[in-house]
Amino acid sequence: MPATTDETSPGTGPERADRTVLDARDISRALTRISHELLERNKGATDLVLLGLHTRGVPLARRIADKIATVEGAPVAVGELDVTMYRDDLRSQPTRRAHKTALPPGGIDRKVVVLVDDVLFSGRTIRAALDALADLGRPSAVRLAVLVDRGHRELPIRADHVGKNLPSALAERVSVRLSEVDGTDEVTIS
């Protein structure tokens, strides 16, 4: 029962001609900018909770939290959110492996929750995340930060903070690789 990958995972199949659109420094700069945007929008890190979406949203959320902590001089709450059970395509795929959902000790009630993911594509993952959040508590606001927005939305969902807008053809594959998961930092399109 191997876990299936989603559209944002790096390909493990045949070699493709990849074009790098973000390297490690680009990714770091994008996350720094998102961190500052979050702080500016939230007027500080008070009541801020970053929830990384499995798989690659989790390390991204931690990186943003570290950057915010450096700027603010105080730690910011980070958690992990798994949306496997809330996906609308569960029935049409082999059984997916669920991951851990871990909220910070203070929970998410009355907090500003920032969902963090690697690629925003159809919007269905974020829809599932909003459903998952509703079962976990009632944030005062929910925002979305993504490293890459590749377009092709199928639902009325938009990101509040985007590292890079990446117009892409539907047939193209956007792959985010992060050192914590994949051993290297890069975003490629093929």
Partner 1 sequence: MKHLLSVDDLSADAIQQLFETAADMHDVQRREVKKLPALRGRTVVNMFFEDSTRTRSSFEIAGKWLSADVINVSAKGSSTSKGESLRDTVLTVCAMGVDGLVIRHPASGAALQVSEWVDASVVNAGDGTHEHPTQALLDAYTLQRRLGSLEGRHVAIVGDLTHSRVFRSNIQCLTRLGARVTVVAPPTLMPSGVGAWSAAAGFDTSYDLDDVLRRDGGPDAVMMLRVQRERMTGAYFPSPREYTVGYGLTRDRLAVLGPDVPICHPGPMNRGLEIAADAADAAQSVVLEQVSSGLAVRMAVLYHLLAGESEGGMA
Binding site for partner 1 (CB under 8 A): 1-2, 82, 84-86, 90-102, 131, 135-137
Nearer to partner 1, 48 or 132 (CB): 132
- The CB-of-54 to partner 1 minimum distance in angstroms stands at 11
Secondary structure tally for the chain: helices H, strands E: 4, 8
Nearer to partner 1, 36 or 99 (CB): 99
Map tokens 């974020």 to a residue: 126
Q: Any alpha helices (H) in the chain, and if so which ranges?
A: 24-42, 57-72, 124-136, 179-182
How far apart, in whole angstroms, are the C-alpha atoms of residue 26 and residue 77? 25
Is 81 within 8 Å of 133 (Cβ atoms)?
A: yes
- The CB-of-188 to partner 1 minimum distance in angstroms stands at 29
Q: Is 6 helix (H, G, I), strand (E, B) or coil?
A: coil
Which H/E stretch holds residue 81?
A: strand 77-81
Nearer to partner 1, 90 or 155 (CB): 90
Map tokens 């903070």 to a residue: 161
- The CB-of-171 to partner 1 minimum distance in angstroms stands at 24
Nearer to partner 1, 140 or 179 (CB): 140
Q: DSSP letter at 123? A: S
Tokens of 102: 């871990």
How far apart, in whole angstroms, are the C-alpha atoms of residue 28 and residue 22? 10
Nearer to partner 1, 6 or 185 (CB): 6
